[in-house]
Chain A
Amino acid sequence: MPIADNAFSTALTLIVTLDPALLNIVSLSLQVSLSAVLIAAMIGLPLGAALALWLFPGRGAVVVVLNAFMGLPPVVAGLMVYLMLSRAGPLGSLGLLFTPTAMVIAQVVLVLPIVAALTRQHIEALLAEYREQLASFGLGRPRMMPTLLWDARVALTTVVLAGFGRASAEVGAVLIVGGNIDGVTRVMTTAIALETNRGNLALALGLGLVLLLLVACVNGAAHLLGEHARRQMG
């Protein structure tokens, strides 16, 4: 127990004194995951809405694949991106492997199916209610899309937050394509894994606490938002 106690107090000291090494890792984690979620949302929200609005041959297959990819194991996503970006891979000439950009790409692969699949579900439910009225206004499907996305904004915000939770908590994908290089591609989850192996429990625990806090804040925000919306919009 004394070791754990000691590690815990050291971890708190690291957090409270804003230790530079810890700050570096936290800031890179946020940059990578926020970029990935932003890109995934910019693609996934319209993509999910389009899947709800347009019927085309093979739509069912696309929906099934998207739903299946929601549960894509991060290491598999990492492996796929690794193969694409490695020297011998189709995008090897870009030299992106083991850079933060590669980590963003891997996390987009993880988050995009979540955002697109859940967006499709929410927009489809809303469309069932709105379709006749919007058609009566003379709106075509392209013009219905922004209306539906805006009116589903509360649900879609929680969707994006769920995507952020997934991105910031996963370790497999960023480890494979980032390589956990100190000061370059080391993020919270990969650092926790490494420091635990090394026996540097204080830093691992400190990072773990920050990560927990972050995930708790995201979930708290999602909850408050939902409550607020229920009161506001009935």
Chain B
Amino acid sequence: MSSLSQPRLPQATTTPMLPLTLDGVRFSHRGQRLLGDIDLRLGAGRTLIMGPNGAGKSLLMRLCHGLLKPTTGQILWNDQALSPALALRQAMVFQRPVLLKRSAQANLTYVLAIRGCPRRLRKPRAQAALERFGLATLAQRPARVLSGGEQQRLALARAWLLAPDILFLDEPTSALDPAAIRAVEEAVNQFHHRGTKIVMTTHDLYQARRLADDVVFLNAGRLLEHSPAERFFATPQSSEAAAFVRGELPW
């Protein structure tokens, strides 16, 4: 059972991906600079990206994940540029989960299929992942009719089966009720305990206090601060971050 519920991590035999280094990264759209220049170095642990609306949090994650290309600067994974092989060792969970129009179980066997998992192993592994995230009884339900919290947990179960080295989460709990938020946070910690690097954006200061090992603070497309969580919340370096921690910056 343990071999089923814990798909082997692919990096066991490959080079580590961390640290993630951003070197002078800028992103412009139609001549307008939306982000940058960002110099940042992320090691292991749970990184929370915080900042008011429009700060560029989602943009920064999409650049790191390779969904967008920086206009200038470079993003390096352990001194290597993102390659297709490295891209497969990442996963991302979006604010609104994008689930296929199939059953919950079929959403999971789908990612196992595209990653070349043998057919006979797909259903048992999918079922184990559903159980891990408390969705076992919903296996045959169409994914699109699940509740918001269930959908987000299914997206996390799907990411779990991808066994990523790095998991990006873009405000995964912003539309959820407190019980569902707690379930998602527990799921994030499961990834953390498995050794997955977490990079997550949130609006929720309390959530950041509960989860963060380090905090990246953005404002208006600029990186103002990157510090360990305790120091960020106790003695923020910039006046903007201080206002944000006091809850005075508009979200």
A139 adjacent to chain B (CB < 8 Å): yes
Q: Give the distance in Å from the alpha carbon of A137 to the alpha carbon of B84 in the complex.
A: 11
Contact A130 B67 (CB under 8 A): no
Known A138-B88, A143-B114, A234-B142: A151·B101 in contact at CB below 8 Å: yes
Q: Is residue A132 within 8 Å, beta carbon to beta carbon, of the partner chain?
A: yes
The answer to whether A232 has its CB under 8 Å from any CB of chain B is: yes
Check A233 against B84 for contact (C-beta < 8 Å).
no
Residues of A185-234 at the interface with B, using a CB-CB cut-off of 8 Å, are 232-234
Cα–Cα distance between A147 and B101 once the two chains are bound (Å): 10
A136 near B: Cβ within 8 Å? yes
A136 with B142: CB separation less than 8 A: no
Interface of chain A: mostly helix, strand, loop or mixed: helix
CB distance from B221 to the nearest CB of A (A): 20
B103 CB to nearest A CB, Å = 10
A-chain residues with CB within 8 Å of residue B92 when the two chains form the complex: 132-133, 136
CB of B132 within 8 Å of the partner chain: no
Cα distance A133–B65 in the bound complex, in angstroms: 11
Report the minimal beta-carbon distance from B100 to chain A, rounded to whole angstroms.
Answer: 5
CB of A234 to closest CB in B, whole Å:
4
- Can you list 8 A-B pairs, Cβ within 8 angstroms, ordered by A? A130-B100, A132-B67, A132-B98, A133-B98, A137-B111, A139-B114, A233-B144, A234-B145
CA A151 to CA B106, docked complex, whole Å: 12
A124-145 interface (Cβ within 8 A of B): 129-130, 132-133, 135-139, 143
A151 cross-chain contacts in B, Cβ below 8 A: 100-102
- Enumerate the 8 nearest inter-chain pairs by beta-carbon distance, A residue then B residue, closest first: A133-B98, A234-B145, A234-B144, A136-B92, A151-B101, A138-B88, A233-B142, A233-B101
Interface size on A, residues (CB 8 A): 15
Task: Tell me if B241 counts as interface (CB < 8 A to partner A).
Answer: no
As a 0/1 sequence over residues 70 to 93 of chain B, the CB contacts with chain A under 8 angstroms (1 = contact) are 000000000000001001101110
| Residues of chain A from 25 to 82 with CB closer than 8 A to chain B in the complex | none
A132-B94, A232-B142 known; A138 vs B84 contact (CB < 8 Å): yes
* Pick from B91, B98, B162: contact of A130, CB under 8 Å: B98
A171 to B62, CA, bound (A): 54
Q: How far is the CA of A129 from the CA of B96 in the complex (A)?
A: 10
Tell me if A136 and B91 are in contact (CB < 8 A).
Answer: yes
Q: A232-B142, A233-B144, A234-B142 are in contact. Are A135 and B67 (CB under 8 A)?
A: yes
Interface size class of B (residues with CB under 8 A): 20 to 34
Q: Are B87 and A133 in contact (CB under 8 A)?
A: no
- Chain A residues near B162: list those with CB within 8 A: 137
Instruction: Contact check, A137 vs B142: say whether CB atoms are below 8 A apart.
Output: no
Q: Which residue of B lies closest to A135 (CB)?
A: B67
- Taking CB atoms, residues of chain A closer than 8 Å to B91 are 136
**A118 CA to B142 CA in the complex, in Å?**
25
Q: Which residue of chain B has its CB nearest to the CB of A151? A: B101
- What is the minimal beta-carbon distance from A119 to any residue of chain B, in angstroms? 16
Residue on A with the closest CB to B90?
Answer: A136
Q: Chain B's nearest CB lies how many Å from the CB of A228?
A: 12
How far apart are A78's CB and chain B's nearest CB, in angstroms? 39
Distance of A139 Cα from B113 Cα, bound (Å): 12
User: CB-CB < 8 A to A136: which residues of B?
Assistant: 65, 67, 90-92
Q: Give the shortest distance, in Å, between A28 (CB) and chain B (any CB).
A: 38
Per the 8 Å Cβ criterion, residues 91-120 of B in contact with A are 91-92, 94, 98, 100-102, 110-111, 114
Docked CA distance A139–B110 (Å): 12
Q: A136-B90, A151-B100, A151-B102 are in contact. List 13 more A-B contacts (CB 8 A).
A: A129-B98, A132-B94, A133-B94, A136-B67, A136-B91, A137-B114, A138-B88, A139-B114, A147-B100, A147-B110, A151-B101, A233-B101, A233-B142
CB nearest neighbor in B for A148: B100
Residue of A at shortest CB range from B86? A138
Q: Name the distance in Å between B199's Cβ and chain A's nearest Cβ.
A: 13
Q: Write the chain A residue with the least CB distance to B164.
A: A136
Chain B positions within 8 Å of A139 at CB level = 114
Measured between beta carbons, the chain A residues less than 8 angstroms from B114 are 137-139, 143
Q: In the docked arrangement, what's the CA distance between A136 and B65, Å?
A: 8
Give the residues in chain B near A132, CB-CB below 8 Å.
Answer: 62, 67, 92, 94, 98
Closest A residue to B159 by beta carbon equals A136
Task: Point out which of B94, B100, B145, B162 has the most chain A C-beta atoms below 10 A from its C-beta.
Answer: B100
